[in-house]
Structure 1
């Protein structure tokens, strides 16, 4: 299982517990404000999606914000 940049820990724990078929990893594209590691005090978070990827392609795994 692979994880790349700014994936919330709750999503990582859920994918590891559920082991969905065809999912090799999770990623968050870009650097959305409010994602893990991109928190800024006093700034509004941006909505972002966590993408699941694997042999079958990509799909939205979770939405935040």
Structure 2
């Protein structure tokens, strides 16, 4: 929990900051499923990052908030 925003998984700080600043309507939190290579804390020198989505969830349902990789 960060300032009322639920954060689950390897969500990049830039996405957290954007959600906190923009306060998108109906968004209760952000999540990244699994442990995608290249996400925060999962960086591996010499290996290419996987593509992954940060999912926004809340009263408005679920949707892609950001795409990485």
What TM-score do the two structures reach when normalised by structure 1?
0.96
Q: What is the count of residue pairs matched by the alignment?
A: 65
2-side partners of 1:5 and 1:38: how far apart?
A: 11
User: Could you list the runs of 5+ residues in structure 1 that have no partner in the other structure?
Assistant: none
2-side partners of 1:37 and 1:5: how far apart?
A: 10
Aligned Cα root-mean-square deviation (Å): 0.6
Show the counterpart of 1:26. Answer: 30
User: Could you list the runs of 5+ residues in structure 2 that have no partner in the other structure?
Assistant: none
Could you list the structure 1 runs, at least 4 aligned residues long, displaced by more than 3 angstroms after superposition.
none
1-side partners of 2:13 and 2:49: how far apart?
A: 17
What TM-score do the two structures reach when normalised by structure 2?
0.91
Mapping for residues 50-65 of structure 1, pairs under 5 Å: 50-65=54-69
